Amino acid sequence: MPKIVDHEERRRRLVDAVWALTVRGGIEQVTLRKVAEQAGVSMGQVQHYYSSMQALVRDALDRAVRAVNANIEKAVEAAGATTPEAVLRACLHALISPDQESMRLMRFSLAAAGRAVSDPTMARVLAPGDDELLSFTAGLITAARQERGVELREDARMDADISWALATSLGVDVALGYRSPEAAARVLSHHIDQVLGVLGSGGREATA
């Protein structure tokens, strides 16, 4: 077995080139030649690692999904969140992080979602969360309500659904510059407050 290279590293380079090209000029700029140039390799190498353009874009999307999830987990850890409410807030706020890397991922995800119109496998990031995620989040909401002493309701799952949809939407807006990170954070916090029953009567303090 001669000439052993790190395949994973090669693919990461190529996918990163796809992200960069998409963010800079839209997904229609992602061509074999441009990807090769951006990654500083030859067209041949791109073809060597991906059997087709579609396969490359698909892998780029796969990795984007995993990267977003990793960012969320990282954000939860970084926040040192111990209470369910803190975990909930950290998870949702991770989607609107003004961090360059996060914004890159959101922008690429939006471009990919545009393709979902014709290719159902292309939504993933911006589509509704799956059962597992919603159940987990609903659990957080219920636990947070309990801790706050708020009367419980059976609609936690729906609130989880709404919360992810809103956070995703805000994340796209931030990544495209339609909202400032601060404004998006205020909106998201306001919604979480409402979900957790924090908003009683004109109270302003709520949470940081």
Partner DNA sequence: CGGTTTGCAATGCGACCGCATGGCAAAAGG
Partner DNA sequence: CCTTTTGCCATGCGGTCGCATTGCAAACCG
DSSP secondary structure string, 24-40? HH-GGG--HHHHHHHHT
Selected from 20, 61, 112, 140, the binder of a second copy by CB under 8 A is 112
Question: Among all chains, which residue has been given the structure tokens 């991906």?
Answer: 50
Q: Output 31 or 83, the one with its CB closest to DNA.
A: 31
Task: Find the shortest distance in angstroms from Cβ 119 to DNA.
Answer: 13
Which ranges of 40-130 would DSSP assign to H, the alpha helix? 43-49, 53-78, 84-94, 100-115
Cα 203 from Cα 199, distance rounded (Å)? 6
Which among 32-40, 73-81, 106-114, 134-142 is the span making contact with a second copy, rule CB under 8 A? Answer: 106-114
Residue 194 binds to a second copy (criterion: CB under 8 A): yes
Cα 103 from Cα 200, distance rounded (Å)? 34
Q: Could you give the string, one character per residue 4-43, with x where binding to a second copy holds by CB under 8 A and - elsewhere? A: ------------------xxxxxxxx--------------
Residue 199 binds to a second copy (criterion: CB under 8 A): yes
Residue 97 binds to a second copy (criterion: CB under 8 A): no
Give the residues lining the site for DNA (CB under 7 A): 1-5, 7, 10, 30-34, 41-45, 47-49, 51-54
